[in-house]
Structure 1
Amino acid sequence: MMNPSQRILVTGATGFVGCHVIPELLAHGHQVHAVSRDREKAETMPWWGKVRYTVADIHNPDMDLVDACGLPDVLIHLAWPGLPNYDALSHYEDTFPADYQFIKRMVLAGVKQVLITGTCFEYGLQNGCLSEDMPTVPVTPYGLAKDTLRKSLEMLQKVHPFTLKWVRLFYLYGPGQNPKSLLSQLDAAVDRGNPVFRMSGGEQLRDYLPVEEAARRIVQVAGNPDCHGIINCCSGNPISIRRLVEEHIARRKARIELELGYYPYPEYEPMAFWGDER
């Protein structure tokens, strides 16, 4: 069951996921207040002029976002700096504690529903089909930071009740993705006319989802009062990296050869994993 129009505050509004979530929220008739640190970038977004906007550093302890933006029905928290460097200690040392304090301030100010995007990196090196009720064993600072944030907020719920919707993202692709991501690098190589694209052996299995579909699901979860806890945002269909790349080359009708095995397989990822879609 979806709630009617709600007042929704979105952090990370100009990020890869945020720039797709906001149009989806508007399409469902929600009142959106977007927040980011870069007003100039915000002004280039397709949603600019259709939402209320505030430039703010949400990690500033003196920033009262409720005072600045009003009390939302739902907070959708997408902001997270430092990606795709999953091994940076700043995820755990800086972002996690600042994020926790930000969410706590919002809850104490009266926010009753909070949706946060988690990550499949919380599962660590577990292979196979990953379900929401599995234990988390992160092996990267990024995965540890997200996992610790979720567990800390679950503790906060016991003292200051609120609804937590933890949408655990797997691998996303589509317009606006980080230029360091796999398909972005492939597109850049094709656009340059490179004859060869260097990559790993490509046999690892991953769970990929178009960012537009992820945005649709995030909005659906945000608007459903009966949906809470951990929700895997995934396709449920594993695909090899090699096949993903080959299909993308075919869609682009490009002529580029793959140099498989040039890069080693990442040590922070298992060889085969995908989400259990419910």
Structure 2
Amino acid sequence: MRILVTGATGFVGRHLVPELLTRGHEVVTASRDARKATSMPWYDKVTPIVFDLLTETSNPTLLPDSLDMAIHLAWPGLPNYKSLFHFEENLPASYFFIKRLVQSGVTRIMVTGTCFEYGMQEGALSEDTPTMPSNPYGLAKDTLRKSLEMLHRYHDFNLQWIRLFYMYGPGQSPNSLLSLLDAAIDNDEPVFNMSGGEQLRDYLPVEEVARRVALLVGHPECTGIINCCSGQPVSVRQLVEQRIAERQSNISLNLGYYPYPEYEPMSFWGVPEKLDQVLKHEP
């Protein structure tokens, strides 16, 4: 298939593109930063276009012809989850961009959502759990999904909404927890300041997230909301201690230095029911 990937140089995109290429797909990559795109190891194997979601959505000349599918990862402004920017700018830009794709004949649309669509609900969260977003980012993503479901009533296209949970790995934000920990270890700092670490989260390596997303490309029958997660609760402290052990470091943890984020529940994880069914039949 000929697949457009927006946000191709982002955290997930940079890993997804080679997964798609390995599976024999022709990939068109869209990203804002042409220089960053040229630095990607897969650059000479794709058709690259420079595309800024917020300024060029309405320009039809930027949309490539003969696309079979679009995977929409682009979402500027992260990790600032509390900015109104998400539903004032990102939401309408994404909606009208996807609508234009559908109107141009693209019959398969995949969009990445977020576990923040669930809001402050705790425990095991399934694909059928009602959404209750409590920050602008979660609200914008949840509203985009509902808007696309409404659009589907008027245009015939296949929609896969990939709800992402927590990820880690190469290319993650330098301000993320494990990146800060790695920097502290690299700098031979004796102590790492963090929260109490008792939060339970659902983590996957970003490479595995990319593999699962690419896998779903081959399963158009798997539609609607699809939780992309491990299904296993892991404490933040456990994740940090695991990384320290992997790095063979003696750095000490200063637990409780930072307060727990008020925009996240203390304990939640995903139930990947649909993905489990897909993975069950994969080698």
TM-score by length of 2: 0.94
Match of 2:124 among 124, 129, 149: 129
Structure 2 contact 7–31 (Cα < 8 Å) conserved: yes
Alignment root-mean-square deviation, CA: 1.0
Instruction: Give the whole-Å Cα distance in 1 for the aligned partners of 2:43 and 2:57.
Output: 27
Identity, in percent, stands at 63
Structure 1 contact 237–274 (Cα < 8 Å) conserved: yes
2:172 is equivalent to residue 188 of structure 1:
no
Instruction: Give the whole-Å Cα distance in 1 for the aligned partners of 2:152 and 2:64.
Output: 23
- 1:112-164 deviations in whole A, cap 9, x for unaligned? 10000000000000000000011000001000000000000000000112111
- 1:4-59 deviations in whole A, cap 9, x for unaligned? xx111100010000000000001101100111011100011111101111112233
Instruction: Give the whole-Å Cα distance in 1 for the aligned partners of 2:119 and 2:63.
Output: 38
Could you tell me which runs of 5 or more consecutive residues in structure 1 were left unpaired when the two chains were aligned.
Answer: 1-5
Q: Which residue of 2 aligns with 1:40?
A: 35
1:233-272 equivalences under 5 Å are: 233-272=228-267
Q: Which residue of 1 aligns with 2:18?
A: 23
Instruction: Give the whole-Å Cα distance in 1 for the aligned partners of 2:103 and 2:235.
Output: 45
1:82-231 equivalences under 5 Å are: 82-231=77-226
Instruction: Give the whole-Å Cα distance in 1 for the aligned partners of 2:105 and 2:43.
Output: 27
Instruction: Give the whole-Å Cα distance in 1 for the aligned partners of 2:266 and 2:113.
Output: 21
Structure 2 contact 7–75 (Cα < 8 Å) conserved: yes
3-state DSSP class of the match of 1:70?
coil
Amino acid aligned to 1:123 = Y
State how many pairs are aligned. Answer: 272
Structure 1 contact 76–222 (Cα < 8 Å) conserved: no
Structure 1 contact 11–78 (Cα < 8 Å) conserved: yes
Instruction: Give the whole-Å Cα distance in 2 for the aligned partners of 1:144 and 1:262.
Output: 30
Q: Which residue of 2 aligns with 1:3?
A: none
Could you tell me which runs of 5 or more consecutive residues in structure 2 were left unpaired when the two chains were aligned.
Answer: 274-283
- 1:181-234 deviations in whole A, cap 9, x for unaligned? 110111111111111110000001000000011001101112212111000000
Q: Which residue of 1 aligns with 2:60?
A: 64
Structure 2 contact 174–180 (Cα < 8 Å) conserved: yes
3-state DSSP class of the match of 2:245?
helix
3-state DSSP class of the match of 1:201?
coil
Structure 1 contact 122–144 (Cα < 8 Å) conserved: yes
Instruction: Give the whole-Å Cα distance in 1 for the aligned partners of 2:237 and 2:153.
Output: 45
How big is the shift at 1:68?
4.2
Instruction: Give the whole-Å Cα distance in 1 for the aligned partners of 2:236 and 2:52.
Output: 36
2:4 is equivalent to residue 9 of structure 1:
yes
Instruction: Give the whole-Å Cα distance in 2 for the aligned partners of 1:14 and 1:119.
Output: 19
2:49 is equivalent to residue 54 of structure 1:
yes
Instruction: Give the whole-Å Cα distance in 2 for the aligned partners of 1:220 and 1:57.
Output: 27
